[in-house]
Amino acid sequence: MSLATHTLASIDLAAELLRNSRRAVALTGAGISTPSGIPDFRSEGTGLWSRDEPLEVASLSTFRTHPELFFKWFRGLAGQIYQAEPNLAHLTLAQWESAGLLQAVITQNIDRLHQKAGSKHVVEMHGTLSTLSCTQCFHQYSYQDYLQAFVMDGIMPLCPACGAVLKPDVILFGEQLPQKAWYEAQRLSRTCDLMLVAGSSLEVLPAAGLPMQAVDRGAHLVIINQTPTYLDVRADVVIPGDVAEIIPLIGEKVLHVRY
């Protein structure tokens, strides 16, 4: 891969900042998972919201009144997530954590690719696909018991205890963020000395405000994304591009390994 001189210099600077940090944190968005075959939500022409109206298919009110509409829309995405594998960006972040270079990953994604890659401290801001909860008796169940049947055969997950619909524990429009995850994300953002934003356009609040909390408290900021963000002007390093290509190149500089 041939990269411009200024991009190579930015990669070197990002690697130096990471080597010198003691409390680095990553914030990841949909752009880290699109190379694994999972579509993002907002890209023009290819994003999920270019084809569907989010409030009609992915809102809490829709789920409560017409859960079949949600599951009909969600089945395709769940299938892509079910089949997806981590890419080199996910794997590199997991290696950084294992090497003591990264405290945690705060993610806006629900695909669990960070966990598949080996990351241990993952804060899922928008909920998780690992569990489903009953909308009536509130029992919680592992996704493994239901996801395959749903993806393969379209079987709507129902509670074995009371028969009500099971809701995947992901955050829908009109639903509050998981309180524990939000507090942990804020704590990490306010105490880190380096935040790496990877594959996020920083357009979705409140997660988009986390890097500002870090910068306002003196942390360095590295942004890797295909498109500009509102915080590019405050960042130490901005690298436009595919995170699945850029992050491993930073990793090569830091850990002296080849991917």
Q: Interior CA angle at 178 toward 176 and 183, to 5°?
A: 115
The total number of structural domains that make up the chain:
2
Residues 164 and 220 in one domain: no
Final residue belonging to a domain, choices 170, 200, 225: 170
Residues 189 and 94 in one domain: yes
The pLDDT assigned to 4 comes to 80
> If you search the block for the tokens 């804060």, which residue do you land on?
123
Q: Would you write out the chain's pLDDT as a tens digit for each of its 259 residues?
A: 557 888 999 999 999 999 999 999 999 999 999 999 998 755 444 444 445 555 577 789 888 999 988 888 888 888 888 889 999 999 999 999 999 999 999 999 999 999 999 999 999 999 988 899 999 999 999 988 787 788 788 888 999 999 999 999 999 988 989 999 999 999 999 999 999 999 999 998 899 999 999 999 999 999 999 999 999 999 999 999 999 999 999 999 998 777 6
Residues 205 and 246 in one domain: yes
The pLDDT assigned to 245 comes to 96
Q: Are 178 and 198 in contact (CB under 8 A)?
A: no
Q: Which CATH number do you get for residue 55?
A: 3.30.1600.10
- Of the listed 66, 90, 121, 126, which one is catalytic? 126
Give the pair of three-digit tokens for residue 256.
């002296």
What is the extent of the structural domain holding 122? Answer: 1-38+86-126+177-259
What DSSP designation does 135 have? T
Final residue belonging to a domain, choices 170, 197, 225: 170
Residues 63 and 107 in one domain: no
Q: Are 73 and 58 in contact (CB under 8 A)?
A: yes
Please state the pTM of the whole predicted model.
0.90
Q: Which CATH number do you get for residue 241?
A: 3.40.50.1220
Residues 141 and 244 in one domain: no
Beta bridge partners of 130: none
Residues 135 and 10 in one domain: no
What residues contact 224, with CB distance under 8 A and at least 6 apart? 14, 196, 197, 198, 199, 239, 241, 243, 246, 247
The pLDDT assigned to 41 comes to 58
The pLDDT assigned to 47 comes to 42
Residues 257 and 144 in one domain: no
Residues 187 and 206 in one domain: yes
Residues 34 and 103 in one domain: yes
Final residue belonging to a domain, choices 142, 170, 198: 170
Give the span between the Cα atoms of 46 and 242, in whole angstroms: 16
Residues 248 and 219 in one domain: yes
The residue type at 185: A
What residues contact 65, with CB distance under 8 A and at least 6 apart? none
The pLDDT assigned to 182 comes to 96
Q: Is 90 a catalytic residue?
A: no
Cβ neighbours around 27 below 10 Å, total: 30
Strands across the sheet containing 237-240: 122-124, 104-107, 24-28, 194-198, 220-225, 237-240
Q: Among 106, 82, 251, which residue's Cα sits nearest to residue 178?
A: 106
- Give the CA count within 13 Å in the CB-facing half-sphere of 175: 20
Give the pair of three-digit tokens for residue 3.
């990269």
Give the span between the Cα atoms of 191 and 57, in whole angstroms: 37
Residues 78 and 20 in one domain: no
Residues 25 and 140 in one domain: no
Give the span between the Cα atoms of 97 and 89, in whole angstroms: 13
Q: Sign (positive/negative) of CA torsion 77, 79, 81, 86?
A: negative
